[in-house]
Structures are given as C-alpha cells and as structure tokens.
C-alpha cells in the first residue's frame, strides 16, 4: 500500500484524526500539507517536525480558514506549489455545536455547515482539475456515523455529514471512468479534542466524573464500549488511497464499534 511519491492535503490535521492520518501518510512516503489551528504551545515548525519525523518527505502547513472559499482555494494552490501536485485530498476538518433546533443559534448553524460541508465542496472543486489532468487521485471524506444516523441536538452536524455522504457519491460518479476515487469513512466515537469537550461538558452538567461521563457516552451508542482510534482510521484511509482500493468508489466505510448495527 505504499504511497511513496504521492502528495496529500489533510484538513484539520493538527490534532486528532487528521494528525493520525497525516503521520500515516508521511510514514508511507507521501508528502503532506497540514491544515488547522495550531495546538496551544506548539509552533508550526514543531508540528511539521512531528509529522515528518525521519521520513524525508515534504511536510508543510497552511492555516486556511476553511469557512472562506477563497482560503480553501489558496490552501490547495499552496499544496500544489509546495509539493508539485495534489494526488490525495482528505477532507477531515470539522466543528460541533449542540442545541435543540428551536434554540439553535443561526450563526452556529452557518459555521458548522461552512466547515463540515461547504469546505469539502470547495476543496474538492479546487483539487479535482489536477487529479483529472494526471488521471489519478484519491479523495477521502471523513464523515461520521452521523452521516448515516442522527442524534438529538446535533441538527447542523448531522445535516452536514449527511451532505458529505451525498457529495462523496456525486464526486465518485462524475469521476468513475478515471483513476480517481472518492469515498467516505464514518467513524463512531473517537477520543479527539472535539469529543473530549462533549465528555467534559456532560460531566460538568451532571456533576459526575469524567470517567463516568465517558462510560455513559460510549454506553449510549457504541456497543464495543471502546473508542475508535486515529491510528485505526488512518489505516482505513491508507487502504482507500492504495491501488488495492481502485475498484472502490462512492462507498461509506463504517468503523463505529457496532453503533449502526443496532
């Protein structure tokens, strides 16, 4: 499944799932352009060094605000300038906000849709021409089980992730005769900063320990009662980007500890 000589952009890759995917790409000899908000106390140079390690691949960083279409286009252009091409696009960046629909702030709806859905469209649109010209490309959209099922108080997130699944299928169909695939991965609970915040909020609201809140969260949805790990998802993405997965396009690969089997 070597990706030696390939070049990838991974959005939302400064932590969590995206960082795990970026590190896996670099380990396979694939150049990477990182994107996202730098973690507190971590410099751009330190993050690049962490991902590059001793692989010898090119690793760069672009802090595009993905809510702005022009910034997304600039990020893809920067990736092409840095690496010479963009063979692989992983649309991973995402934000969350929870509230009942009747009290859901409209500006938060707009923000979630912009980052979780519209940015996927704008990045795909910008990266596709180069892939089409070279007749090779891999687009992997990190959706969620919430692209397939719903949960209360997550209207914007669920709507966006369902939209990502639909966009994945259209992208796949429009490029089906080329050596370009587009697939989605649909993780259940992964212990990312986004999920940790939900756990912390639950613990504070109910006056329980973080450990108890974690057990509650997993018990409600994920029968395995274990988090999916960024490393497991990275392996899934690597497979989708390999030649072995050339015949797979427009599919949703679910890794959710049994969530959607119920």
The active-site residue, picked from 25, 109, 157, 259, is: 157
DSSP the chain: ---TT-EEEETT-SSHHHHHHHHHHHHTT-EEEEESPPPTT--HHHHHHHHHTTS---EEEE---TTSHHHHHHHHHHHHHHHS---EEEE-------B-GGG--HHHHHHHHIIIIIHHHHHHHHHHHHHHHHT-EEEEEE--GGGTS--TTBHHHHHHHHHHHHHHHHHHHHTTTTTEEEEEEEE--B--HHHHHHHHHHHHHHT--HHHHHHHHHHHH-TT-SPBPHHHHHHHHHHHHSGGGTT--S-EEEESTTGGG-
Residue 157 annotated in active site: yes
* Catalytic positions, written as ranges: 157
């Amino acid at each position: 499944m070597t990706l030696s000589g390939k070049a990838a952009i991974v959005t939302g890759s400064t932590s969590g799932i995206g960082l795990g995917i970026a590190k896996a790409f670099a380990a396979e000899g694939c150049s990477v352009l990182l994107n996202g908000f730098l973690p507190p106390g971590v410099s751009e140079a330190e993050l690049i060094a962490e991902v590059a390690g001793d692989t010898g691949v090119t690793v760069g960083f672009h802090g595009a605000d993905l809510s702005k279409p022009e910034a997304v286009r600039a990020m893809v252009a920067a990736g092409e300038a840095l690496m010479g091409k963009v063979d692989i696009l992983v649309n991973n960046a995402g934000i969350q906000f929870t509230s009942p629909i009747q009290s859901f702030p409209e500006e938060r709806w707009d923000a979630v849709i912009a980052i979780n859905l519209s940015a996927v469209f704008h990045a795909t649109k910008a990266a596709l021409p180069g892939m089409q010209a070279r007749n090779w490309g891999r687009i992997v959209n990190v959706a969620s089980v919430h692209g397939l099922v719903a949960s209360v108080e997550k209207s914007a997130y669920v709507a966006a992730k369902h939209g990502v699944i639909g966009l994945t299928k259209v992208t796949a169909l429009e490029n089906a005769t080329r050596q370009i695939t587009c697939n989605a991965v649909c993780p259940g609970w992964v212990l990312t900063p986004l999920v940790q915040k939900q756990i912390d909020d639950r613990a504070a609201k109910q006056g329980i320990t973080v450990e108890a809140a974690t057990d509650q969260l997993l018990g409600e949805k994920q029968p395995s009662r274990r988090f999916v790990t960024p490393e497991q998802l990275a392996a899934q993405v690597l497979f989708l980007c390999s030649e072995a997965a050339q015949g797979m396009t427009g599919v949703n690969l679910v890794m959710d500890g049994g969530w959607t089997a119920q």
